[in-house]
Structure 1
Amino acid sequence: MDTDSPAGRARGPYAKSAERRRQIVDEAYRMFSTRGYQASSLREIAGAAGISLSNLQHHFASKEELLLAVLERRDETPAAETAAADTAENADENAAVPFDAAMVARAAANERIPGLIALYSVLSAEGVTDGHPGREFFLRRYDSLRAGYTAEFEEVRRQGRLRSGVDPAMAAASVVALWEGIQLQWLYAPDRIHAADALRAYLDLVIVSADDEGADA
Structure 2
Amino acid sequence: MAMETFAARGYGKASLAEIADRAGLTQAGVLHYFHSKANLLTEVLDLRDATDIADLGPERPRGLAFLRHLVDTARRNAEREGIVRLYAVLSAESVTDDHPAQSYFRNRYAGLRDLVAEALTEACARGETSEDLDVRGAAGAIVAVMDGLQVQWLLDPGAVDMAASTDGVIEALLASMRKG
The two structures share one fold, judged by TM-score above 0.5: yes
Q: Name 1:72's counterpart in structure 2.
A: 46
Distance 1:47 1:168 in 2: 47
State the TM-score, normalizing by the size of structure 2: 0.79
Q: CA deviation at 1:64?
A: 4.1
Shifted more, 102-111 versus 119-128: the winner is 119-128
Structure 2 stretches of 5 or more lacking a match? none
Structure 1 stretches of 5 or more lacking a match? 1-26, 86-95, 209-214
1:113 aligned onto 2:80: yes
Q: Name 2:111's counterpart in structure 1.
A: 144
Q: Name 2:30's counterpart in structure 1.
A: 56
TM superposition outliers: structure 1 runs of 4+ over 3 Å? 37-52, 61-65
Task: Say how many residue pairs are matched.
Answer: 171
Distance 1:80 1:187 in 2: 24
The answer on whether the counterparts of 1:104 and 1:196 sit within 8 Å (CA) in structure 2 is yes
Q: CA deviation at 1:160?
A: 1.1
| Bigger-Rg structure (1/2) | 1
Distance 2:54 2:74 in 1: 9
Identity over aligned pairs, percent: 33
Q: Name 1:36's counterpart in structure 2.
A: 8
Distance 1:51 1:188 in 2: 32
Q: Name 1:202's counterpart in structure 2.
A: 169
Structure 2 vs 1, CA of residues 111 and 45 (structure 1 numbering), >3 Å: closer, same or farther? same
Which is helix-richer, 1 or 2?
2
Q: CA deviation at 1:80?
A: 5.9
Distance 2:25 2:14 in 1: 16
Structure 2 vs 1, CA of residues 80 and 180 (structure 1 numbering), >3 Å: closer, same or farther? farther
Q: CA deviation at 1:51?
A: 4.4
Q: Name 1:168's counterpart in structure 2.
A: 135
Q: Aligned-pair RMSD on alpha carbons?
A: 2.9
